[in-house]
Amino acid sequence: MLMIFEKRIRWTSRLAGRGFPAFLAPLFFTVALGFLAMLPVGSTPVMAQEVISQEEPTPSSTDEVKTPMGRTFEEKEKPPLPRFFPWLKEQLKDTPAFFRDTKLNLNFRTYYFYRDKYDDTVSETWALGGALSYQSGWFLDHFAVGSVLYTSQRLYGPSDRDGALLLRPGQHGYTVVGQLYGRVKLIDDNFLNIYRYEYNTPYINKNDNRMTPNTFEGYTFNGTYGGKDGALGFRYGGGYITKIKERNADTFKWMSQDAGAAVKRGVVVGGGSVSYKGLTFGAIDYYSNDIINIIYTEGSYKFRVMEGLGLLFSAQFTDQRSTGDDLLKGYSFQNNQVGVKSDISYGNAVLTLGYTHTQKGADMQSPWSGYPGYTSVQVQDFNRSGENAFMVKGSYDFKGLGLEGVTAYALFVHGWGRVDPITKAKVADENEFDVDVQYRPQWKFLKGLWFRVRYAMVHQYEGPQTTIKDTINDFRVIVNYDIPLL
């Protein structure tokens, strides 16, 4: 343990010597030690990740923390907001449920993105857009339809600073019907989903961290039995997904082509999870013939130690391997990653600690979503061949100080052990530091408004220097406004 701490001290000294504010470098180490001191002696370091909840508030307790499997097959309802046209909704109150329960929502989004990269190039874009979504009520209590129109248009974006993924390649705006679906309610909370829809599973999800999310074409089913008030519950889902619309695209392409293979293949998906009181376990499989098979499993246990003090322990495992004719890379590959995570909450603050380890095989793949590993943060996923990652993250909700709607978090990830997946030669290690501040006004007609500022710095160290620079700076400003029209 002393050797590990000595290594952290050497690293923070080097960081300060490379232009990062000197007073912050030792602070990172001090904060990490303080967090570690709160854990029981002999406990295993564990890790946090953020990619699964880009559109949700920073949690203020473990009750609000979601894991990748915890969101899978979940029928998520957004919190009610004041309607823009309440008089029109009133006019529909005596009509059939198909019309009476219609939802029409407008999402306004503007996004500024700046990143300077290792090769000394810059990606910079400012975009304006959002989504107009329609969802009917249930016809005969069993049939519903919906659609979402997405758009993203350039406000600023030099052609030589492309790559922010807010616009199509070349800094071009786009408009696309990203969702166009029918739903069939079979029995209670069991549904068929037909055609263009969005999903939130570990390896096929909306990855909504730019202007518009991933959406998919396919035919799926999902359902829920029990699970209320801590009772035994079961969630399941599966189906066949053919195509994907990427975050900054206006067309759908075959799942296999999006992954990088020149053939037309979809993905068969199936899995489920079981929960009882605070214990949850689940698994899901993704199979694409001749492309890749991904198996993801996760278990978690949440409990309250005493009033105001909550704990959440989670563990995950992913296995990936080529299938059939190995058309994705042209050769056979396989690898896996394991991760563990712990969240501790008290007094509107959440401390998260975690660790992940990737075997020395191929780099882990995530062709159709944000990466669900506990190490995935703002810029890097820390999921490459041989890579280990340790992270400390602290988040706080300032409502207890009278700043209702203000939340923030800071995190530090230390990654090491990475190797080239082919030659197994040493590759430069990386660390990442992120800061995120959010403000959601609580006044009645501004409750759908959300301001967010994010900054990340990635730093290479201890390895062959093959890039022009050894740091990446990533800065983002996002404004969202959800307006229920009907």
Q: Digits of tens for pLDDT over the chain (486 positions)?
A: 333 334 443 434 443 443 333 433 333 333 333 333 333 333 322 333 444 445 567 888 888 888 888 878 777 666 677 777 777 778 888 899 999 999 999 999 999 999 999 999 999 999 999 999 999 999 999 999 999 999 999 999 999 999 999 999 999 999 999 999 999 999 889 999 999 999 999 999 999 999 999 999 999 999 999 888 889 999 999 999 999 999 999 999 999 999 999 999 999 999 999 999 999 999 999 999 999 999 999 999 999 888 889 999 999 999 999 999 999 999 999 999 999 999 999 989 999 999 999 999 899 999 999 899 998 999 999 999 999 999 999 999 999 899 999 999 999 999 999 999 989 899 999 999 999 999 999 888 788 899 999 999 999 988 777 788 899 999 999 999 999 998
21 part of a folded domain = no
Candidates 440, 423, 354, 430; CA nearest to 390 is 354
Helices within 38-155 (DSSP H only)? 86-91, 97-100
| 17: CB partners within 8 A, 6+ apart | none
Give me the number of domains the chain comprises.
Answer: 1
| C-alpha distance from residue 290 to each of 216, 264, 282, 324 (Å) | 20, 10, 26, 4
Torsion of CA 412, 417, 419, 425, to 10 degrees: 130
324 part of a folded domain = yes
186 part of a folded domain = yes
d(CA 262, CA 268): 18
Q: Which helix (H) or strand (E) holds 313?
A: strand 309-321
Query: Residue 259 belongs to a domain with what CATH number?
Result: 2.40.160.10
Neighbouring C-beta atoms of residue 113, cutoff 10 Å: 24
CB of 200 within 8 A of CB of 368? no
Helices within 189-273 (DSSP H only)? 255-259
CB of 378 within 8 A of CB of 50? yes
d(CA 113, CA 456): 12
Neighbouring C-beta atoms of residue 372, cutoff 10 Å: 26
Beta strands in 76-142 (DSSP E): 103-116, 122-135
Q: Which helix (H) or strand (E) holds 32?
A: helix 24-37
Beta strands in 359-470 (DSSP E): 388-397, 406-416, 429-439, 449-461
Q: Encoding tokens for residue 133? A: 């979504």
d(CA 413, CA 380): 10
3 part of a folded domain = no
Burial environment of residue 441 by CB neighbours within 10 A (0 to 12, 13 to 18, 19 or more)? middle
198 part of a folded domain = yes
341 part of a folded domain = yes
3-state secondary structure of 2: helix
CB of 417 within 8 A of CB of 383? no
pTM for the model stands at 0.86
Instruction: Identify the domain containing residue 279 by its residue range.
Output: 38-484
